[in-house]
Chain A
Amino acid sequence: MRKVFLILVAFAGLVLALPVTADDELRVKAGCLYPLTGPGALYGRDSAVAIKLAQQTLESRKDLGYPQIDVIIEDSRSKSLRSLQIARRLVEEDQVDFLCGVVNSSVARAVSGFAREAEVFFIGTDHASPTLTGEDLHPYYFRVSNDTRQSMRAGAKYIQETYGGRAEPLKIAFIGPDYEYGYQAWDDLKTFLAQQDMDFEVTGEYWPKVFETDFTPYIQHLMATPTDVVVNGQWGLDFVTFVKQAEQLDLFGQVEFMNFDAGGNYEVLAELENDMPLGLVLSARHHVNWPPTDANRDFVEAFRDEAGRYPSYAAQGAYAGILAIAEAVRQAGGVGDKDRLRESFRHLSLALPEDPEGFRSKMDPDSHQMLQVQAIGRTIYNNSFAPAKVMLGDWRIYYPPDDWPVLGDGS
Chain B
Amino acid sequence: MPFRANRLNLARRYLWGALVAALIPLVLIATLYDRYSANLVDNLITNRVNAHLEGAAVRMSNFMAVQVNKLESIVDLPDTTDFFLDRDNNAISPLMRDFLLLEVESPDVYAIELSRVSGETIATVPANRARRRPNDHNLLPLVQQGAVEILGPVLPSGGRPGWFLIRMPVFLNQERIGIVSLRMRLSSLTELAAQLIEPGVYNPQIVVFDRVRLTPVGTRAEEAEIFARSRQFLPGWRVQLVDGGGDLEEPRDRIRYVLLIAAVISALGLVVLFLKMSQRLSSYLVPLNEGAQAIADGNFGMSVSEDGPGELGSLARSYNRMREQLEKLIASRVEVERRAALGGMAAGIAHEIRNPLATVVTTVHGLRRNEKDAERQRMFEVISAEITRVDKTIGEFLNYAKPSPPVREPVLIREAFRTIRTLLATTAHEKDIVIDLSGDSSLQLDIDRAHFSQILLNLTLNGIDAMPAGGHLKLRAYREGGNVVVSVADDGAGMDADTRDKVLRPFFTTRGKGSGLGLPVTKQLVETNGGEMSIESEVGHGTTVTLVFPRKEAATGRTA
Binding site for B on A (CB under 8 A): 79-81, 84-85, 106, 109-110, 113, 131, 135-136, 178, 180, 183, 186-187, 190, 204-211, 214, 216-218, 220-221
Contact = CB atoms under 8 A, between A and B. Distances in A.
B320 to A, nearest CB: 76
B185 A209 contact: yes
Contact of A84 (B101, B159, B215, B218): B101
B187 A183 contact: no
B166 to A, nearest CB: 18
Nearest to B104: A80
Q: Which of B98, B187, B216 has the most CB of A within 10 A?
A: B187
B159 A183 contact: yes
Interface of B: 98, 101-102, 104-105, 107-108, 126-128, 156, 159-161, 185, 187-188, 191, 194, 197, 199, 215-219
Given A109-B126, A109-B128, A221 B105 contact: no
Nearest to A82: B105
Contacts of A178: 107, 161, 185, 187
Contacts of A205: 156, 159, 161, 219
A200 to B, nearest CB: 14
Say what secondary structure dominates the interface of chain B: loop
Contacts of A183: 159-160
A58 to B, nearest CB: 34
Contact of B107 (A131, A210, A216): A210
B49 to A, nearest CB: 18
B217 A206 contact: yes
Contacts of A220: 197, 199
What 8 A-B pairs are tightest by C-beta distance, nearest first? A207-B161, A209-B107, A217-B194, A81-B101, A217-B216, A186-B159, A81-B102, A221-B217
A106 B156 CA distance: 20
Contacts of A113: 127-128
Contacts, number: 66
Contact of A208 (B187, B199, B215): B187
Given A84-B98, A178-B161, A205-B159, 16 more contacts: A80-B104, A81-B102, A81-B105, A84-B101, A110-B101, A113-B127, A113-B128, A190-B159, A204-B219, A206-B217, A207-B156, A208-B187, A208-B217, A217-B216, A218-B217, A221-B215
B159 to A, nearest CB: 5
B219 A221 contact: yes
Given A187-B159, A217-B216, A80 B107 contact: no
Contact of A207 (B104, B187, B197): B187
Contacts of B161: 178, 205, 207
Contacts of A79: 105
Given A109-B128, A217-B217, A221-B219, A81 B98 contact: yes
Contacts of A204: 219
B200 to A, nearest CB: 10
A208 B127 CA distance: 23
A209 B219 contact: no
Contacts of B194: 214, 216-217
Contacts of A221: 215, 217, 219
Contacts of A80: 101, 104-105, 126
Contacts of B160: 183
Contacts of B98: 81, 84-85
Contacts of B105: 79-81
B126 A110 contact: yes
A141 to B, nearest CB: 13
A206 B219 contact: yes
20 contacts: A79-B105, A80-B101, A80-B105, A80-B126, A84-B101, A109-B126, A109-B128, A110-B101, A178-B161, A183-B159, A186-B159, A205-B161, A207-B156, A207-B218, A208-B187, A208-B217, A209-B107, A216-B194, A216-B197, A221-B217
B102 to A, nearest CB: 5
Contacts of A106: 126
Nearest to A177: B107
Given A80-B126, A81-B102, A84-B101, A209 B159 contact: no
Contacts of B217: 206, 208, 217-218, 221
A186 B156 CA distance: 14
Q: Which of B104, B161, B199, B215 has the most CB of A within 10 A?
A: B161
A354 B185 CA distance: 38
B246 to A, nearest CB: 12
Q: Which of B107, B197, B219 has the most CB of A within 10 A?
A: B107
A110 to B, nearest CB: 7
A209 B189 CA distance: 12
A206 B156 CA distance: 9
B118 to A, nearest CB: 27
A180 B107 CA distance: 12
A215 to B, nearest CB: 10
Contacts of B108: 209
A187 B160 CA distance: 9
